[in-house]
A and B are shown apart, each in its own frame.
Chain A
């Protein structure tokens, strides 16, 4: 199975900060990667698909990049509603494994 590793596991940031979260696959997954946001007690919300395509309705401050094994989710200017946990997921092959999550907390 393909293993997905996110870093960092958590981070503290302030409103207006630029935030970058990294996701690494244990083997190449081309660009078959999604990013999700999950607020406490809520269902996950799709942000990015195909590594870099912004889902409809998602603010443009969110962006994704990468291909192969290394991927990045960037929030260009953190807003209060962005404090949440973020997950990557591969859809390339086998079980659709998620990363372990990155919790973005208020500094």
Chain B
């Protein structure tokens, strides 16, 4: 099982960038997928996720209206379109698979497979 991110780079404030994440070794279309980021020297921040069929998405407040998560299950691909980028969006961006498991008290989701990350730098 593997996730590989791509698309990172240097972009000016206010610019746009599109990240991709390609999955292999598992049935991509049957999993929720996530984006998580880590600013330099900082902790982890969950950014967004998307349902198996793409019909439902969720975002952290700081990126709502600027970032859009999408997927193409025919290509085992996850994307993050990032617009109106700010300096504070500078980070390593990871994609991660959500594994779902039903336990005694309900359905649990946990991020069990991660990519190595792609670096986004927003600077003039």
Contacts and interface: CB of A to CB of B under 8 A. Distances in A.
Interface of A: 1, 30-32, 34, 36, 38, 42-46, 49-50, 53, 55, 87, 89, 91, 95-101
B44 interface: yes
A95 B61 contact: yes
B109 interface: yes
Main secondary structure of the interface of A (DSSP, over half): loop
Interface of B: 34, 36, 43-46, 49, 58, 60-61, 94, 96, 101, 103, 105-106, 108-112, 114-117
B60 A95 contact: yes
Main secondary structure of the interface of B (DSSP, over half): strand
B110 A91 contact: yes
B44 A91 contact: no
Contact of B94 (A44, A100, A101): A44
Contact of A43 (B101, B108, B117): B117
Given A98-B44, A98-B45, A101-B43, A91 B114 contact: no
A26 B46 CA distance: 17
